[in-house]
Amino acid sequence: MKNLAGNLLLLFFSFAVVFVIGEVASRFIAPISPGPAILDLQGNRLTASYISPGQSFRITTPDFDAVTSITADGYRAPEAKENPEIIFIGDSFTYAQGVEDQQTFPAIYCKAKRMDCANLAVPGASTLYEIDRLERFLRKKRWSPNFVDLFFFTGNDFSDNLQAAERRSQGKDIAPLEVSPAAQAKKGLFQRIIETGLYYSNLLRVAYYKVLPMLRDNPQQSEDALNKALKITRSEFLRLDELSNIYAFSYRIFIVFPQHEIEQGVDKKIAERIQSISPAPVIPLGDLFRDDPGKYYFPTDGHFSVAGNKKLAEFLLQNYY
Contacts 24+ apart (CB under 8 A), 101-108: 101/67, 101/68, 101/69, 101/76, 101/77, 102/78, 103/66, 103/306, 103/309, 103/310, 104/76, 104/309, 105/304, 105/309, 105/310, 105/312, 105/313, 105/316, 106/313, 107/77, 107/78, 108/309, 108/310, 108/313
The per-residue pLDDT for range 69-114, each reduced to its tens digit, is 999 999 999 999 889 999 999 999 999 999 999 999 999 999 999 9
pLDDT tier for residue 205 given thresholds of 50, 70 and 90: low
Read off the pLDDT of residues 240-296 as tens digits, 9 standing for 90 and up: 999 999 999 999 999 999 999 999 999 999 999 999 999 999 999 999 999 999 999
* pLDDT range class, residue 165, cuts 50, 70, 90: very high
Indicate the Cα dihedral angle 126, 320, 297, 41, nearest 10°: -70
In this prediction, residue 218 carries a pLDDT of: 54
- Checking if the pLDDT of 215 tops 50, the result is no
**DSSP-assigned states of every residue in 176-236:** -GGG-HHHHHT--HHHHHHHHHHHH-HHHHHIIIIIHHHHH--HHHHHHHHHHHHHHHHHH
CA distance 91 to 164: 14
User: Which pLDDT value is given to residue 222?
Assistant: 83
Q: What is the mean pLDDT of the chain?
A: 88
What is the structure's pLDDT at 36? 86
State what percent of residues in the chain have pLDDT above 90: 71
Domain 78-319 classified CATH 3.40.50.1110?
A: yes
Q: What confidence tens digit (pLDDT) does each residue in 120-145 have?
A: 999 999 999 999 999 999 999 999 99
What pLDDT is recorded for position 28?
A: 66
Q: How many angstroms separate the CA atoms of 105 and 307, rounded?
A: 10
Whole-prediction pTM: 0.89
Mean pLDDT of the region 194-208: 64
pLDDT tens profile 29-67: 767 767 788 999 999 988 889 999 999 999 999 999 999
Which helix (H) or strand (E) element contains residue 261? Answer: helix 259-264
Q: How confident is the model at residue 216 (pLDDT cuts 50, 70, 90)?
A: very low
pLDDT of residue 217: 52
Over residues 205-230, the mean pLDDT reads: 67
